[in-house]
Chains A and B, each alone.
Chain A
Amino acid sequence: MATFTEKVGKSTLEHLDYVGGLSIQLWATIRALGAALPFTGNRYRWKASIVQMLQIGVEAIPMVGLMALCSGFILAMQGASELRRLGALQLVINLVAMGFTRELGPLITAMAVSGRSGSAFSAEIGTMMVTEEVDALRVMAFDPTEFVLAPKYLAALIVVPCLSVLCNVCGIVAGGIFMFFSTHLGPGLYLHGVLTSIKLRDVTAGLIKSLAFATIIVQVGCLEGFRVRGGPEAVGRSTTAAVVKSTFLVIVADAVFTAIFYFTGGH
């Protein structure tokens, strides 16, 4: 019994330590974020932010777009198979439009960014830890949080919401293509249906979620990297942990935000 209690206690302390580490790192990143801003910040950090925007955002466009198109078709087809029986096929428009703006757009984007960039952050920083590059930064009077993390965070805060909007558009377009071929609904009418079903609050809720997801992906990916100790195998473990933990936390955060929006009347 004592062993079981010890295990529970140890696990609890480890989780608290992890959450504490994330919170401290997030606060340090927010404080360092000013250095990555254009005009007022350090121009080298802003340049690094632009590079990160290309890597996190632009290079992810084909993947996010394709995932959104496939998910849009799936949602439209699955919805249509049930709604057709009820004689409410036109509700597929609402289902796809609201489903993507509120939920699927930010979530699919987060999954893609987590898999592509969260793991890359962890591997990059983990390798820097193993090769003493982070120590080198510190002894050269650079703050690793400002030098490494802030540009990534700023870039993610900008491009992840943009990718979410792209994901929404692609998903809704996929729904339109399905409706055109299954019901011969014209693009104009479909677009009108989409615009009447989406409210500004839905878009805002989706964007707020995508900002939260960007924060989780960057902070978890970087923390896993900074916690690497040992050799290359530790980098591999941290990369896996970054994807697993950020995916889990993204879904938990999604549930929390959805509940908040639901109970505050947003949905």
Chain B
Amino acid sequence: MAIISIRDLVVEYDGRRVLDGLSLDIEAGETMVLLGGSGSGKSTLLRQILGLERPKSGSISMKGVDITRCSQAELQRLRRSVGVAFQSAALFNSLSIEDNVALALREHTALAPAIVDLVVWMKLAAVGLSEFGKLHPQELSGGMKKRAAVARALALDPEILVFDEPSAGLDPIVAAELDELILFLKRASQMTVIVVTHELPSAFRIADRIAMLYQGSFLAVGTQEEIRASQHPRIRQFLDRVPDSTATVHTVDAYIEKYVQSPEVKS
């Protein structure tokens, strides 16, 4: 059964169409990777799924509720079942790591302070940061910040866990550690995981299914094997890392020649 169902989603910024009639079902318990290059619209799609922006048309149903039309109160209730680890980690710099993780627990639950402390410790231990809870975000490395963001996203035991570019800006070892962490969390709690990325090794390591985005449309949605076997030129180009075009010596020469011959230079 689909936990998130996207139908004919259209998003425009200043008349420019960014998402063009997307439809996608994300099944409960699966890891869906939204794969695509820069400017393909994957971050915009993620913001729509999180209810941070309203689409021009179409619908997004989360657990059967259309979040593009529901009330703010209903959206807030749904958001408590979603954990998000942002690309920049988005930890609150004025709070310690412990307080970042504890924030939602303190405000959205009636747990006793001792229980909150215990849950925070468990979440930090799950991401390997149990000894760093007293530190502030600015005292952590990039990889540790991302893991702290995961711990905060896990605080309320969400049904849906969302990662925005988890590997961005990290070295391959730390990126691989994060991939393993995502797989571990998936195995441990059977939650639905949505990952936005353009990193192929990461996508093929963690995905159950992959939705390939290009210029606001899905080129393909399928299992890893189906995506790997695809003969779609754009998918092949992405998988085989073939550049669109590059500046060659000839094109630079032609440009300079054209400039030298131009009336402005001659005059």
Separation of A42 and B103 alpha carbons in the complex (Å): 13
Asked if B52 and A131 sit within 8 Å, CB to CB, the answer is no
Separation of A138 and B80 alpha carbons in the complex (Å): 10
Q: Could you say which residues of chain B place their CB within 8 Å of the CB of A44?
A: 106-107
Binary per-residue interface labels of chain B (84-124) against chain A in the complex, 1 for a CB within 8 Å, 0 otherwise: 10111011110000000001101110000000000000000
Asked if A132 and B50 sit within 8 Å, CB to CB, the answer is no
Asked if A132 and B86 sit within 8 Å, CB to CB, the answer is yes
Asked if A135 and B90 sit within 8 Å, CB to CB, the answer is yes
Q: Contacts A133-B92, A135-B52: A142 and B84 contacting too (C-beta < 8 A)? A: no
Asked if B80 and A131 sit within 8 Å, CB to CB, the answer is no
Residue A195, interface by CB 8 Å:
no
Question: In chain A, what residue has the closest Cβ to B81?
Answer: A141
Residue A1, interface by CB 8 Å:
no
Separation of A141 and B108 alpha carbons in the complex (Å): 9
Residue B71, interface by CB 8 Å:
no
Residue B141, interface by CB 8 Å:
no
**Candidates A136, A141, A143; contact of B90 at CB < 8 Å:** A136
**Candidates B51, B77, B84, B108; contact of A136 at CB < 8 Å:** B84
Asked if B52 and A141 sit within 8 Å, CB to CB, the answer is no
Within 8 A of B (CB), among A135-152: 135-136, 138-143
- A152 to B: closest C-beta gap in Å: 14
- A213 to B: closest C-beta gap in Å: 27
Residue B246, interface by CB 8 Å:
no
Asked if A140 and B103 sit within 8 Å, CB to CB, the answer is yes
Separation of A229 and B47 alpha carbons in the complex (Å): 15
Within 8 A of A (CB), among B155-175: none
- A234 to B: closest C-beta gap in Å: 15
Residue B79, interface by CB 8 Å:
yes
Asked if A140 and B106 sit within 8 Å, CB to CB, the answer is no
Separation of A91 and B165 alpha carbons in the complex (Å): 70
Separation of A141 and B92 alpha carbons in the complex (Å): 15
- B49 to A: closest C-beta gap in Å: 10
- A126 to B: closest C-beta gap in Å: 13
Binary per-residue interface labels of chain B (38-81) against chain A in the complex, 1 for a CB within 8 Å, 0 otherwise: 00000000010011100000000000000000000000110110
Separation of A5 and B51 alpha carbons in the complex (Å): 38
Q: Contacts A42-B107, A44-B106, A44-B107: A139 and B82 contacting too (C-beta < 8 A)? A: yes
Separation of A133 and B84 alpha carbons in the complex (Å): 12
Asked if B87 and A132 sit within 8 Å, CB to CB, the answer is yes
Binary per-residue interface labels of chain A (83-103) against chain B in the complex, 1 for a CB within 8 Å, 0 otherwise: 000000000000000000000
Question: In chain A, what residue has the closest Cβ to B164?
Answer: A132
Asked if B79 and A131 sit within 8 Å, CB to CB, the answer is no
Separation of A143 and B103 alpha carbons in the complex (Å): 13
Separation of A139 and B103 alpha carbons in the complex (Å): 13
Separation of A143 and B72 alpha carbons in the complex (Å): 10
Asked if A141 and B88 sit within 8 Å, CB to CB, the answer is no
- B161 to A: closest C-beta gap in Å: 12
Question: In chain B, what residue has the closest Cβ to A124?
Answer: B94
Separation of A132 and B77 alpha carbons in the complex (Å): 21
Question: In chain B, what residue has the closest Cβ to A135?
Answer: B52
Separation of A142 and B104 alpha carbons in the complex (Å): 9
Q: Could you say which residues of chain B place their CB within 8 Å of the CB of A143?
A: 76
Separation of A140 and B79 alpha carbons in the complex (Å): 6
Q: Contacts A131-B90, A132-B88, A135-B52: A141 and B106 contacting too (C-beta < 8 A)? A: no
Q: Could you say which residues of chain B place their CB within 8 Å of the CB of A133?
A: 90-93
Separation of A142 and B152 alpha carbons in the complex (Å): 14
Separation of A42 and B108 alpha carbons in the complex (Å): 11
Question: In chain A, what residue has the closest Cβ to B84?
Answer: A139
Q: Could you say which residues of chain B place their CB within 8 Å of the CB of A42?
A: 107
Asked if A141 and B50 sit within 8 Å, CB to CB, the answer is no
Question: In chain B, what residue has the closest Cβ to A134?
Answer: B90
Residue of A44, A133, A135, A140 contacting most chain B CB atoms (<10 Å): A140
Separation of A131 and B108 alpha carbons in the complex (Å): 23
- B253 to A: closest C-beta gap in Å: 36
Separation of A44 and B91 alpha carbons in the complex (Å): 18
What residues make up the interface of A, taking CB atoms closer than 8 Å to B? 42, 44, 131-133, 135-136, 138-143
A-B contact sample (9 more), CB < 8 A, given A132-B86, A135-B47: A44-B107, A135-B86, A136-B90, A138-B52, A139-B50, A139-B51, A139-B52, A139-B79, A140-B104
Please list 25 pairs of residues, one from A and one from B, whose beta carbons are closer than 8 Å in the complex, sorted by A's number.
A44-B106, A131-B88, A132-B86, A132-B87, A132-B90, A133-B90, A133-B92, A133-B93, A135-B47, A135-B50, A135-B52, A136-B86, A138-B52, A138-B79, A139-B50, A139-B51, A139-B79, A139-B82, A139-B84, A140-B79, A140-B84, A141-B76, A141-B79, A142-B107, A143-B76
